[in-house]
Structures are given as structure tokens and as C-alpha cells.
Amino acid sequence: MSEQHHLIPVAIKVMHPGVTHQVRMDLRLMKAASWVLSLLPGARWLRLTEVMEEFEEVMLGQIDLRNEATIMERFRENFLGMDSVKFPIPLRPFVTRTVAVETYEESTPISTFVAEDVPDVLKQQLARMGLDMLLKMVFVDNFVHGELCPENILIQGADQFSRQQDDRTTIVDLCDTLIINVHPSQCPLKLILLDTGIVTELRPSDFHNLKAVFTAVIRGQGEKITELLLTQATVNECQDLQLFKSEIERIVHEAEMNTGSLQKLHVAGFLSNILEALIVHKVKVESSFASVILAIMALDRLSRSLDPELDLLQVVRPMLLKDSAGL
């Protein structure tokens, strides 16, 4: 009986036999294809062979489960002070290149809570928790989960969450003194994040630029955004820089006109338009920089599906403007 009390449910990941060989073969074929495509005049600016080298590094890391365990441990360390976010625990020494054992987290996919019959107060809480998690990864830790899709975000504690999260108050009468003690209610909700094999970590200069870009977005400074994107560019074959600048300023202006204020901006759509302008004008930014942007877009869309009124820029505004003096 005492031994059973120490048993914990676990999840076991096993690398499929032969997958390493298959991945390496696929990478060889893709590298050959990228080399051929890079010979085409219209595709040279994409630097496809360099992109493939970066992709190869990511994929080779994926087929060694020890990498995912190490990343998961770093995420757990980063979020030690944030009770609303939880990662499984890799159970060493049961972690090898091909097998990884980690704690099993009983939970429900976040996509379940998009349904109409889910209380709005629960949706809003989940959306804000997800946004706080993302902003910490992006603007504080500079260590971003690379696969923030609904399948990798699970929810614990929803069955314990009620519309009335009342504080508990106790009153003690000591002679002629009345002591009132308020115990804030604890939110039972937790975000469980899985599959941490892919992460993005920017170089210090890129991290600095990312914060500067979003600060410029908050302030509606289209020209400043353009300057920062051009500074961030690893390849710039733009044929008309003035037209590119005008395009970015138009996107900012239209966003402001459509919402009445950039503080009500739909960030995912706005960033999608910026990325489209970069492609059209052949301005290629660092791939890790683009990956962070895509992660922000993905979670912004998910958060807005839960709470359409949630404003990413409004949440991050105090943090970025406080740091803007150093940008």
C-alpha cells in the first residue's frame, strides 16, 4: 500500500524506429530542392539554402528527446513564479535520445472552451492567462514556445472554476477590537503546455528590436516601424524603399482608422499585413524574428476566439513604454 501511494501517472514518448533515417533522407531531398530553386532569379532573395540549414538544425533537434526534456526544464524554471502555467516534469534518468518519460497531466484541450455554452467569464480568464503566458515568453524571458497551437495547450481546473470567485472573510472579535481577515480566492485554472521541442530565442540585438517594433506599433509610428524592419532585414532587395515605407505607413494608418485607436488593434491581422508587405517588397527578416511574430499571431487569434475584447497591445503597453527610454 505504501508503494502505491508513491505511484504517479506518466506519459511515455517513444521515437518511432527508423524515423531518424527517414528525417535525414527527407532533409537531403529538401536541401537539393532548395539549391535548385535558389538558382531561379526570382527566388534568390529568399536564401532558401540558408533557410534549409536552419530547418535542418531544428528537425535534428526534434529527433533527440533529450533536447525537449532540457527545454521543458528551462520553461519550468522560467515559470516558477507563475502558478497559472505548468509544464510536465521530465523524469530523469528515464530520458534518452529515443525514449522520454514525463509526468502525465490530466487536462482538457483549450479548443474545448471555445464552444458557445462555456461561460464567458471562464473564456475571458483563459484568454488572459494565455496572453500573460505569451507576453512573458516573448518580452521577458526571450524564450518562446515554437508550437503554441491549441493541441499543445491544455486546461486544468476548469471543473472547479465558478462564476463567483469570492474572497473568504473571517471576523474575529477580541474584546473591543474587531479583526477582519480577507483570504483572496485562488483561481484553480492552469495552462498545461506540451511539446516543447521547438523554441525561439532571439539574439540580444534582435530582442531589443522586437520590443522597439512593438513600442512603435503602440505609438502608431509607421515610419519608425519601417526603419526597424529594414534594420532587422538579413536580405533587402527592395526595388523601391519609399514605396515600402509608404506601404507600412498605410497599414498602420488603416488599422488606426478601422479601429479608432491602435489600442483596439487586431494584432494577428495587422502583423499578417506587415509580413505580406515584407514578402512583396523582398525584405527578409531573421527567421527567428519571424517565428516570434508568428507565435504572437497564433496565440492572439486563439485568445480572441475566447475573448474578442481582449487587447494584446493594451496589456503589453505598460511594460514596453516603461522600457522605451532604453530602446
Question: Tens-of-pLDDT digits for all 327 residues of the chain?
Answer: 455 567 889 999 999 888 888 888 988 888 888 888 777 777 777 777 787 888 888 888 888 999 999 999 999 999 998 889 999 999 999 999 999 999 999 999 999 999 888 999 999 999 999 999 999 999 999 999 998 989 999 999 888 876 445 545 454 445 555 455 544 556 689 999 999 989 999 999 999 999 999 999 888 888 999 999 998 888 888 888 899 999 999 998 888 776 555 556 778 888 999 999 998 998 888 888 888 998 999 888 889 899 988 888 888 888 888 776 554
* Rounded-to-integer distance, Cα 299 and Cα 45, Å: 29
Beta bridge partners of 283: 236
Q: What pLDDT is stored for residue 327 in this prediction?
A: 46
* Rounded-to-integer distance, Cα 181 and Cα 158, Å: 27
Distances (CA, A) of 156 to 86, 161, 235: 9, 10, 44
* Rounded-to-integer distance, Cα 68 and Cα 66, Å: 5
* Rounded-to-integer distance, Cα 100 and Cα 68, Å: 9
Question: CB of 225 within 8 A of CB of 248?
Answer: yes
The end-to-end CA distance of the chain, in Å, is 60
* Rounded-to-integer distance, Cα 302 and Cα 293, Å: 14
Q: What pLDDT is stored for residue 2 in this prediction?
A: 52
* Amino acid type, 152: N
Q: What pLDDT is stored for residue 86 in this prediction?
A: 95
**H helix intervals, 11-63:** 19-37, 48-62
DSSP 282: T
> Which residues lie below 8 Å from residue 69, measured CB to CB, with a gap of 6+?
90, 92, 95, 100, 102
What does pTM read for this prediction? 0.82
Q: What pLDDT is stored for residue 165 in this prediction?
A: 54
**Which helix (H) or strand (E) covers residue 68, if one does?**
helix 65-78
